[in-house]
Amino acid sequence: MTLATVFAPVFERIAKGAVERESDRTLPSEQVEWLRESGFGKIRVPREFGGFGATVPEFIELLIELGRADSNLPQLLRGHFGFVESRLALPDPQARERWLRRVAAGVIVGNAQSERSSSSWFEPATTLTAHGDGWRLDGRKFYSTGSLFADWIHTSASRGADGIANVLVPASAPGVTRIDDWDGFGQRLTGSGTTLFEDVPIAAEDVEPAPDASLAAFFQLVHLATLAGIGRAAVAETVAFVNGRARNLFNPAVPPSADPQVQAVVGRVAGASFAADAATMAAARAVEAAAEHPDAADIAVFRAQGVVIRLVLDLVTELFEVGGASATAERLRLDRHWRNARTLASHNPVIYRDRAVGQFLLDGTTPSAAFQQHRKGTA
């Protein structure tokens, strides 16, 4: 049985309520549990530790299909899957196995890295203070994507002169407060709100040095998969909308589905979705080889971002040409595709990706080198 066969029924269940959840702003807690129960969170965990052992391209194809069902879900699990990738690359074999087995058993890890109170990723206001044989954590994080649904929260904190640390926090620990206050107009059900840490006890084994290796390409690839999923969903709903209409105001001699103008629009948006899929999968293959070619993976993903973002934003705008004002009906929520795609595209503005690719091609500066230059103020 293929992975696609395993998860297709779950994705179908998730898709059935997507429009209603969007309309009612109902967080997908139940849907996250369906994914947990099906083992979706352990797709990348090696079989020896109880996972499915999927390759990056296999994983991304499934993630696109999940994005087609509901684009909130791939994003809210983005921190989880990024954490799994960090465990796969972890030098400490005992810690690596401990966490991979936890994930295989169903543990979900949320993300809480960004802060509004600090000016840099490298100077977090959140702090760790030594306490007995462990630590105490204090701080406030924003964009805590997925943490509302998580068992553990992956965050970062300053240890003063000892630099930045990765911190793993049990979501149910005393002093942890998760707030659903994300107010963006898209991706509204991702739990991307505030997380408070107030004198939270942290075990010594759950504090790690900040890693040297970057997972930027992988994290951006998840966004690309989510965007490609939005493209697939938009095409499918456009086709269903056209086939469900009987009235054709501008060309009453034929039904909407036989109108050459409408057919051309559907053909264009379908082609854009196909191209977005292809670019995303090409980037996935580059990320699969990232261990040997990390800079090539960054460049491949950044190139794909420039293409996929524009393709998907264009297609989720053009689809409204098939139905006049009736396509804007609230019950259809076709606008959610544009809002969600626009929000995803705004997380990491494509203008910076275009510039990184251009700089690399012109003078050979890799994205990682450029990032370090900007970090040090030498760019």
The mean predicted confidence, pLDDT, of the chain is 94
pLDDT digits (tens, 9 = 90+) for 224-250: 999 999 999 999 999 999 999 988 877
Find, among 95, 43, 57, 47, the residue nearest to 290 by Cα: 57
Find, among 251, 222, 291, 220, the residue nearest to 71 by Cα: 222
Q: What is the pLDDT at residue 183? A: 93
Token pair, residue 320, equals: 């409204």
Architecture of domain 216-376: Up-down Bundle (1.20)
* CATH 2.40.110.10 corresponds to the domain 111-209: yes
Q: Which amino acid is at 261?
A: Q
Where in the chain are the domains? 3-107, 111-209, 216-376
Q: Which residues pair with 140 in a beta bridge?
A: 196
Find, among 144, 304, 337, the residue nearest to 225 by Cα: 304
Question: What is the arithmetic mean of pLDDT over 89-99?
Answer: 94
Tell me the Ramachandran region of residue 333: left when phi exceeds 0, alpha when psi lies from -120 to 50, beta otherwise: left
pLDDT digits (tens, 9 = 90+) for 140-161: 999 999 999 999 999 999 998 8
How many Å is the Cα radius of gyration of the chain? 22
Distance separating alpha carbons of residues 57 and 227, to the nearest angstrom? 16
**Among 3.40.50.1000, 1.10.540.10, 1.10.10.60, 1.10.10.10, what is the CATH number of 3-107?**
1.10.540.10
Q: Which amino acid is at 142?
A: F
Contacts of 227 (CB under 8 A, 6+ apart): 67, 276, 280, 308, 309, 312, 341, 344, 345
Question: What is the arithmetic mean of pLDDT over 183-189?
Answer: 95
Q: What is the pLDDT at residue 118? A: 64
Check pLDDT > 70 for residue 215.
yes
Give the count of beta carbons closer than 10 Å to the beta carbon of residue 91: 8
Check pLDDT > 60 for residue 91.
yes
Find, among 180, 213, 230, 225, the residue nearest to 69 by Cα: 230
pLDDT digits (tens, 9 = 90+) for 292-334: 888 999 999 999 999 999 999 999 999 999 988 889 999 999 9
**Which three-class secondary structure state does DSSP give residue 65?**
helix
Place of tokens 């083992």: 39
Distance separating alpha carbons of residues 65 and 80, to the nearest angstrom? 18
Comparing 98 with 325, the larger pLDDT belongs to 98
Q: What are phi and psi of 193, to 5 degrees?
A: -105, -150
Q: What is the pLDDT at residue 283? A: 98
Question: What is the arithmetic mean of pLDDT over 105-127?
Answer: 87
Token pair, residue 243, equals: 């086939």
pLDDT digits (tens, 9 = 90+) for 328-355: 999 999 999 999 999 999 988 899 999 9
pLDDT digits (tens, 9 = 90+) for 274-289: 999 999 999 999 999 9
Q: What is the pLDDT at residue 291? A: 78
Find, among 230, 239, 191, 242, the residue nearest to 335 by Cα: 230
